[in-house]
Each structure stands twice: as structure tokens, then as C-alpha cells.
Amino acid sequence: MVMTIPTENIGSIPRPQKLVDAYLRFKRGQLDRASLEEIALEATRETIQRLEETGSPCVSDGEQSKFDGFASYCLHGATNLAPDGVEIVFSDGHSRFLPRLTRGPFRYQQGADRFLEISRKLAQVPVKQAVISPSVISLLYPQGGIENYSRGQFIKDILSEHAAEIERCLSLGAHKVQIDFTEGRLSLKLDPSGELLQGMVDLINQGLSGFTDVQRQRLGVHTCPGSDRDATHSADVDYKDLLPTLFRINVANFYIAMAHEKDPEKGLRIIKTLLRPGIRVFIGVIDPINPEVESPELVRDRVLQALRFIPLDQLGTCDDCGFSPFVDDVSTSREIAFEKIRARIIGTKMAEAVLDKS
């Protein structure tokens, strides 16, 4: 019997230069929204086709239409934001800023289901959809508060937008809905006591409280140390401080960056202690930060290593992160991203073949 190990990508694929240029022109007011979206649609079509050509059993739109980045697609066009919110500092010294909410009420400008609707029509195989976590959006609320719009009301508004977005993605037939929780690991740098992280996990669970166990089988959460211009924001945070709290999230799928870890065995050993029935852990076997393409043999060995700690029926493989979470991040080429994904598919199959023989 051939055993199968599910394998999925995390999210972003570097956008074609034409789309990057179009977005910059759009931001300068030199291109209208409809033309930008037409170019994004063309990039999405090509991305899905190329993902399918790698043999991926499940694809996504490669976030071609999340123009600003993985976190802010739901904010595009909002008029109640200022650009000077929370600063995220990366290991090479560069920063990204979250926006700051200037007045209420907070509403999503668009949900990720909008992208899923398009990609479902373009794909031949199952399609997954990544959505942003309510916890990163919660960071938009300013420390000093907002007149006539309490933090409590803001949180209520985020959670209802978030749950409705997931609900729509599930109704559209998403293979998986993956909550991007990159700020989970980062939160331990901002607050080493772990209180901020616990609050974030509680918030995510609160947002998911209305979903059934059957729906949760299709819900997942992704953690990584950040990946932008080949730099990370929290790779130095120890998994022993993150994973026990992260695994409290009430979903059935966990997508955990591992290929870039200094000591993957240590991470896997921690995961082993946190496994519970009914969950699957997708282990990162491809490092998007590293421009070198992994060989399928290396991927195979990483899968076999993971199997020493995670039972076969609870294991999956994935990339450590998206390849270009922000539109202007061109540190990894589109070609390399597809080659790396191909190596993940082949390497995962090679591991299955080893198991089949044994």
C-alpha cells in the first residue's frame, strides 16, 4: 500500500515583475484598480498553472492579489488608517510598520474569500486559502485609545469579520483555511513573559469558537520566524517558549517552520510531547530564506527525521513560510520558488517510497 503524506505550500509566490511594477504605479496613482487587478489575475492564472505543474496536490493563488502583503489585504482602501503603527524589526536591521487605526468602526475592506473564489475557478486540484490572524489585526489599535471606539468594541468587530471570512472560505470549498500567525513567535520578543502570546492565542480561539469539529478539520494555523528580504524577525525565540501555547489553538492543522531551525530535532521533540489525537502537523522542509534549492534527497531525509517524532497519520510537509510575504520582496525569484516547491513534492514522495518498502 502506498502511504501518502499530505504536502501543502504556505502562501506567497514572488510576483512577476510586471505585477510588482503595476502595483507601484497604482500606488503612485498612475494606474487604475481595474487594470491592476487584471494584471494580478493573469499572474494568478500562471501561478496556479505552474504550481500544478510541480505536481502539487493542493495549490493556492500565491497571494498575487495580496498586493501590500499577507497581513494587510483586508485593509486595502481603508480611510481610517495611518502608516505609523507597530514596528517589526528584522534580523538584517530593516523594518516593516503595521498601520494604526485612527477611528472606528473597523471593517474588512475585502476578505480572502474574494481571492479563493477566483483561484477555485482556475485550479484543477484542491485550493487552500490563507487568512490573516485576528491577533495581528488587534495590534492596529493605538495604545492611547480611540475616542468613541473602545478596544473591546474593536476586538468584537475584528472577530466577527475574521469568523465570517473563514466561514465564506469554507463554503467556497477551501481545502484548508490557514491562519497566518507569524506574530505569535514575534510576540515573545515583544513580551518574553508570554502574556501577549497567551492573549493572542485566546483571541484566535475566541474567533474560532463558532466552528464545528468537522469544520476544524479544515482549519489550520501557520507559525514562522518571519520571512522578508531573506531575513527573519524572531528566529532566536526558542520553540520551547512558543509551541506549548501555540498548540492550544483549536484547529486540526499546524504548519510549523522547521527547515530554517538551528536544531530541528529539538523542535520535533517538543512537538512530540504536544501531539493530540485528530491533529496533523505539517513540518517545514523547504527554507524560503535560503536561496539554494533543496535537493529532493534532503527533503526526504527531513521527512524521515520528522517521522521519528510524529506518527505518519499525523504528519504533513510544507514550506517554512511564503516566498514573498510583501509585494516588493524580490529576494527570492519566482523560478527558485517553483523549483523549491517541486523539490518538496518529489522529496515527500521519496520518503513515502522508503516507508512503503520498509
Pairing outcome for strands 87-89 and 95-97: antiparallel
Instruction: Give the residue with the Cβ less far from Zn ion, 56 or 182.
Output: 182
Contacts of 146 (CB under 8 A, 6+ apart): 101, 102, 103, 104, 154
Helical (H) or strand (E) element with 255: strand 253-256
Closest approach of Zn ion to the CB of residue 183, in Å: 10
Instruction: Give the residue with the Cβ less far from Zn ion, 56 or 178.
Output: 178
Helical (H) or strand (E) element with 318: strand 315-319
Closest approach of Zn ion to the CB of residue 226, in Å: 7
Instruction: Give the residue with the Cβ less far from Zn ion, 47 or 178.
Output: 178
Cα first-last separation, the chain = 11
For residues 327 and 187, what is the distance between their CA atoms, to the nearest angstrom? Answer: 24
User: How many angstroms from the chain centroid is the CA of residue 100?
Assistant: 22
Task: Give SS3 for 330.
Answer: coil
At position 181, the amino acid (one-letter code) is F
Q: Dig out the grid coordinates for 276 from the structure.
A: 493530540
DSSP code for 313 = G
For residues 336 and 154, what is the distance between their CA atoms, to the nearest angstrom? Answer: 41
Instruction: Give the residue with the Cβ less far from Zn ion, 9 or 47.
Output: 9
Instruction: Give the residue with the Cβ less far from Zn ion, 70 or 115.
Output: 70
Burial of 304 (0-12, 13-18, 19+ CB in 10 A): middle
Phi and psi at residue 190, in whole multiples of 5°? -75, -30
Closest approach of Zn ion to the CB of residue 281, in Å: 15
C-beta neighbour count of 94 within 10 angstroms:
12
Instruction: Give the residue with the Cβ less far from Zn ion, 224 or 243.
Output: 224
Closest approach of Zn ion to the CB of residue 222, in Å: 6
- Rg of the chain over Cα atoms, rounded to whole angstroms, equals 19
Instruction: Give the residue with the Cβ less far from Zn ion, 315 or 318.
Output: 318
Instruction: Give the residue with the Cβ less far from Zn ion, 11 or 347.
Output: 11
Closest approach of Zn ion to the CB of residue 10, in Å: 6
Question: Which residues are near Zn ion by CB under 5 A?
Answer: 182, 224, 321
Closest approach of Zn ion to the CB of residue 38, in Å: 28
Check: CB of residue 64 under 8 Å from CB of residue 44.
yes
Closest approach of Zn ion to the CB of residue 182, in Å: 5
Closest approach of Zn ion to the CB of residue 177, in Å: 15
- Name the nearest CA neighbour of 11 among 148, 176, 231, 197: 176
